[in-house]
Structure 1
Amino acid sequence: MILIVDDRQENIYSLQKILELNHFEVDSATSGEDALKKILKNTYELIILDVQMPGMDGFEVAEAIKGYSRSKDVPIIFLSAVNIEKKFIAKGYTSGGIDYIAKPFDPDILLLKVKTFCRLQQQTNELNAIHKTLREEIEFRKQAESDLSQSVDELRSILESIPQIAFTANAGGAIEFINQHWYQYSRGKEVLPKTAPGEVSVADCIREAIASGNAFVSEISIRALDQQQYRFHTLTMTPIRKNGQIVKWVGMFTDIHEQKMANQLLEQRVTERTVQLQNMNNELEATNHELQQFAYVASHDLKEPLRKIHFFSDLIKTRHLKENPDAIADMDKIIRSSERMRSLIMDILDYSKVSVPDTFEPANINGIINDILADMEMLITEKQAVIEVQNIPQLDVNPAQIRQVFQNILSNAIKFSRPHVPPLITVEACLVADKTADSPPCENGRYCRIEIADNGIGFNEKYLDKIFVIFQRLNSKEEYEGTGIGLAIVKKIVDTHKGIITASSTEGAGSRFVIVLPVHQNDHHLS
């Protein structure tokens, strides 16, 4: 951009038009003071300066311009119609001008000079920029060399202070520096520590690290000069890069002999303990199988005398006690006790049969629940129960065991209803990401959370830990029938399906059971 400084607007206008027609960007000022303000803000390639101006004349303005560091190299052309004597021309050059043109001037000559001076100024600016870049590059290289030298000194100081054997090598693997610990295993950097017979040598490890171009770790055994025993060490080789190229390697031998010996001893003990645990597990499986067989046989054998007790008690009641109300009442107690004993035996049988299924299969959970509701139709009608079941995704389960889960929970929800309040039971489900009761819904979750809520009598949550324990009852058997095994069976089945179950409740306001089951039992990501 060219700055025209003249106190007469018509002079500025005519000169500005000539320059703009020749594709020059032009700025103008009508006084020396105005010109100096603009020079402080803008960068100009050439200044055309009128000599005769009120206030500061052109010579004073030029001297001021040359006093500014940012404008001292800008070429100045003086224009004058009055001061054209030799002494004024000389003063113009001594003030910092590079040319002195008398008015009137030849526009073509002026344009040639303007183009020449602008081109020279652009080249000067480019050269200055190149010089600046070169100076910065030189300073940068000097600083980099200083930093590198300092870094090498610091690295060597650090390597001397550590308890490990340490060394540095150049990009080709030649040893450059060794710390004092090196001399315990070798007499100098020309000789590498000796490895145990049959092991890879240190030289081979260094070559392998250089070939890979990456950090290298190897376990080797080396021997100190004053000892006969080879000790386990880890050799680490770390590359140091500059501008993407490896310029140095830092190597380190770390003594791990005691750790290695301890690990070997620990591995031996773990192996021995594993064998013991496997034997104990086999014995436990055999014992569990025997217990299951015993429970099944014992329960099965107990049912036969109970049937006789129930049958003959009922027979005695109907044939021989018709005229004795007290005896009938006592016999009813015997019959009810035998019924409770029969229910208890059946539940124990069911509990003993629950084990990890041999196979799981995709099952329609809604279909299983619909079958249960069909079987419970009379009880549902009697209690005027309303059961709302949402759509549940297909899950990998053992259908028979899962049927028992829902049957026990739904029958409990109907059984433990409030007097004169029709049971309202809801079954809802959604996919979740985690096996937790409060995991948020997730469209592609690996688990399914099923919530079964009712409006029954509820329970005090301080007994939450007890409701899933076998033989635990929160209500008397006179008020509500049951053996206290149903929810224990539910818990055991859910556990065998790699799921969880929990509950929440408010006394007199109903209960809420939450079951979380895997969608696919063969999912390796299951926690």
Structure 2
Amino acid sequence: MILIVDDRPENILPLKKILELHQFSVDTAESGEEALKKVLNTGYSVIILDVQMPGMDGFEVANAIAGFSKARDTSIIFLSAVNKEKQFITKGYTSGGVDYLTKPVDVDILVLKVKTLHRLYEQQQELRVIQASLSKEVEVRKQAQEELAERIQELRSVLASLPQMAFTVGIAGKIEYVNEHWYLYSRHSDAFPETHPDDSDCRDWQEHFQKGMEYTREVRLLELATGEYKYHFLRITPIRQQGEIIRWVGTFTDIHQQKVATELLEQKVELRTGELLTKNVELERTNHELQQFAWVVSHDLKEPLRKIQILNDMIKEKYLKDNEAAALLVDRSINSSARMSKLINDLLEYSQLSVSTAFQPTDLNELLTELLMDFDEVIRAKKATVIVEKLPVLDIIPSRIRQVFQNLISNALKFSKEDVPPFIRISACFVAEKSIDAAPSALGKYCRIELTDNGIGFDEKFLDRIFIIFQRLNERTSYEGTGIGLAIAKKNIDKHNGLISAKSRLDEGAAFIIVLPVVQPEG
């Protein structure tokens, strides 16, 4: 919710209506005291605060709000028609404001700022929820670790009490000594316990005995008292003195419980694996349904937009020929509808990038020849020159690489200098490594494609931003666009196991570099 604080209702009403048109919930206060009472009871994402008010002025209100824990994530925008000097602006920021705007205010800029701050507020709230969840998870993990430590201690006690048979064998191969546990499984001190019919006899250690090697194996032994076969781990180790074997020491360690637990765990793992496979199938189906839903929603959103554009055109033609001011407003509405339609199309394309498509060998020359036909009118209108050098055949998804070039060429034409015809060059070479700056190599397994232009360029310090969705380096009023094109290009190149980057300077054009495998790796 947005709170507007101003002692003059005639200032509050138009700003409230504008924000409500942008789907914001708006609350108002006509004094600093009233605003403080509301902040105590309600959480606001943004407070638009007038500086010049009777009683408590805006700075005093901001200082008071700063002490409220409920408003710790709330952003304050100061508005002032009188206090425009640097000292007041500085005081606004030191009082806790995130922005200081002087009247008359550009409404579009104010709405954009409110949207950004509101989005930051929502993200902060989500982050706090995540932090609380993480704290809870840490506590649960800590408790689990404590329980695990207790279980380990119990396990150690159990291991200490496990029955273990011990015996020694002389160098002649005869049993010399057995402990008391031996008689749980054998009636004679010179005879090995009876093994399970499916297990080989324990005497197969003779080969290791001849070679002087340690012998280990798992074996099931018949317990005399119960008549059950239980798993044991047999280890027979040579004891040497001055390099010579003087005797052998053997142990049968009861591992029956661990073995049963392992078999039970394997059964559970197998069951869980089956459940995960089922869930994976369900997720794939859900993903497909979401893609279908995105297409339907975009179609349903575009239909009323088309009607809005048509109706606005009819109103302008029939009723506003002699009213320039009203016609200007209608034009803005038509342009906004067109931008919304473009945004819906771009978002739909972005959402469909996760769909799997097969790679196939494709001649990039043919792909670009066909693509440039779509730009014929723009190229003629701007008197642009597009040079495409010889390009190779690559293993790609044609429709997606077409999207990449379409966005890059469109940007090169769009961000051209005034009164300077655009000049675009597309070239390629093979390189040995998957690197933007790799040296050319005729036998390289990768292809580096470079698209250069003579446009307005950009500052390379913003390089990391240009491939992020909705990130723009230029004002929307100067250059149209949704901020999605390069994000789509980046996602498509990632899908091709490639790289995309750019080099540029302001007013010196830009170069976009793509590195793609000549042949896509299997899988």
TM (norm. structure 2) is 0.52
Residue matched to 2:288: 289
Cα distance in 2, alignment partners of residues 449 and 284 from structure 1: 37
Partner of 1:428: 428
Instruction: Identify if the C-alpha distance between structure 1 residues 517 and 221 changes in structure 2 by more than 3 Å, giving closer, same or farther.
Output: farther
Task: Supply the AA of the counterpart residue of 1:503.
Answer: S
Letter aligned with residue 485 of structure 2 = G
> Equivalents in 1 of 2:363, 2:381: separation in Å?
28
CA distance in structure 2 between the partners assigned to 1:519 and 1:505 by the alignment: 23
Give 1:110-149 correspondences, 5 Å limit. none
Task: Identify the residue that residue 312 of structure 2 maps to in structure 1.
Answer: 313
The correspondence of residues 169-248 of structure 1 with structure 2, limited to 5 A, is 195-204=195-204, 220-221=218-219, 230-231=230-231, 233=233
* Aligned partner letter, 1:288: N
Q: Quote the residue 1:473 is aligned against.
A: 472
Alignment of 1:49-128 (within 5 A): none
Unmatched segments (≥5 aa) in structure 2: 1-163, 239-247
- What CA deviation, in whole Å up to 9, does each residue of 1:385-408 have, x standing for no partner? 444444443223222222112111
- Distance (Å, rounded) in 2 between the aligned partners of 1:383 and 1:254: 89
Q: Decide which of 500, 503, 507 is 1:502's aligned counterpart.
A: 500
Q: How far apart, CA to CA, are the structure 1 residues paired with 2:386 and 2:178?
A: 83
Structure 2 residue matching 1:295: 3-state secondary structure:
helix
CA deviations on 1:275-316 (whole Å, 9 max, x unpaired) are 444344333323322222222112212222222222232222
The answer to whether residue 347 in structure 2 is matched with residue 338 in structure 1 is no
Check conservation: 1:432, 1:449, Cα contact below 8 A: no
Structure 1 position 254, deviation (Å): 10
Q: Secondary structure at the match of 1:502?
A: strand
SS in 2 for 1:323: coil
1:468 is aligned with what amino acid?
Answer: F
Q: Deviations over 1:6-65 (max 9, x none)?
A: xxxxxxxxxxxxxxxxxxxxxxxxxxxxxxxxxxxxxxxxxxxxxxxxxxxxxxxxxxxx
Deviation at 1:478, TM superposition (A): 0.8
Question: What is the CA-CA distance between 1:418 and the residue it aligns to?
Answer: 4.0
- C-alpha distance 361-190 of structure 1, shift in aligned 2 (>3 A): farther
User: How far is the alpha carbon of 1:198 from its aligned partner?
Assistant: 0.9
| Shift in Å, 1:192 | 6.5
Distance in 1 of aligned mates of 2:447 and 2:254: 49
1:176 deviates by 10
Which residue identity is paired with 1:317? K
- Aligned partner of residue 501 in structure 2, secondary structure: strand
Q: Is the 8 A contact 2:493 2:500 kept in 1?
A: no
Tell me, yes or no, if the aligned pair for 2:220 and 2:232 is still in contact at 8 Å. yes
Q: CA deviation at 1:416?
A: 2.4
Aligned to 1:364: 363
Question: 2:175 touches 2:190 (CA, 8 Å); kept in 1?
Answer: no
- Contact kept, 8 Å, 1:200 with 1:220, in 2: the verdict is no
Alpha carbons of structure 1 residues 390 and 231: separation in structure 2 relative to 1, 3 Å:
farther
Looking at structure 2, the residues matched to 418 and 299 of structure 1 have their Cα atoms a distance apart, in angstroms, of 34
* Secondary structure of the corresponding residue to residue 354 of structure 1: helix
Matched AA of 1:345: I
Which residue number corresponds to residue 246 of structure 1?
Answer: none
CA contact (8 A) 1:355 1:493 kept: no
Q: What is the identity, as a one-letter code, of the residue corresponding to 1:199?
A: D
Task: State the SS of the aligned residue for 2:479.
Answer: coil
* Count of residue pairs the alignment pairs up: 344
What SS class does the counterpart of residue 308 from structure 1 fall into?
Answer: helix
CA 321–470 in structure 1, closer or farther in 2 if over 3 Å, else same: same
- Structure-1-length-normalised TM-score: 0.51
- Partner SS state of residue 353, structure 1: helix
Local SS of the residue matching 1:291: helix
Q: Which amino acid aligns with 1:333?
A: R
SS at match of 1:373: helix
| 1:329 alignment partner in structure 2 | 328
Q: Determine helix, strand or coil for the equivalent of 1:312.
A: helix
Distance 1:458 1:216, change over 3 A: farther
Q: Aligned partners of 1:194 and 1:407: how far apart in 2?
A: 78
1:422-461 → structure 2 map (5 Å cutoff):
422-434=422-434, 437=436, 446-461=445-460
Structure 1 pair 265–460 and aligned structure 2 pair: CA distance change class (3 A)? farther
Cα distance change of structure 1 residues 501 and 236 upon mapping to structure 2, 3 Å threshold: farther
In structure 1, what is the Cα distance between the partners aligned to 2:290 and 2:517? 29
Alpha-carbon contact 2:321-2:327 (below 8 Å) kept: yes
Cα contact 1:389–1:428 (8 A) shared by 2: no
- Displacement, 1:368? 0.7
For the pair 1:519 / 2:521, whether they are aligned, the reply is no
Task: Report percent identity of matched pairs.
Answer: 41
- Aligned 8 A contact 2:177 2:189 in 1: no
**Offset at residue 317 of structure 1 (A):** 1.9
Structure 1 residue 482, shift from structure 2 partner? 0.8
CA contact (8 A) 2:430 2:445 kept: no
Deviation at 1:252, TM superposition (A): 9.7
Deviation of 1:336 after TM superposition, in Å, equals 1.1
- Kindly indicate whether the alpha-carbon contact (under 8 Å) linking 2:359 and 2:520 is maintained by their aligned counterparts in 1: yes
CA gap 1:179/1:262 in 2 versus in 1, 3 angstroms: farther
The answer on whether the counterparts of 1:177 and 1:189 sit within 8 Å (CA) in structure 2 is yes
Q: Alignment partner of 2:416: what SS?
A: coil
Alignment match, 1:300: 299
Q: Distance in 1 between matches of 2:254 and 2:364?
A: 57
Deviation at 1:449, TM superposition (A): 3.9
Change (3 A) 1:460 1:200: farther
The answer to whether the 8 A contact 1:235-1:254 is kept is yes
Change (3 A) 1:494 1:275: farther
What residue is the counterpart of 1:278 in the other structure? 277
Task: Letter of the 2:499 partner, please give it.
Answer: I
Give the aligned CA root-mean-square deviation in angstroms: 4.9
Contact 1:167/1:252 (<8 A) preserved:
yes
CA distance in 1: counterparts of 2:441 and 2:202, whole angstroms: 54
Residues in 2 aligned to 1:337 and 1:366: alpha-carbon distance in whole angstroms: 36
C-alpha distance 179-378 of structure 1, shift in aligned 2 (>3 A): farther
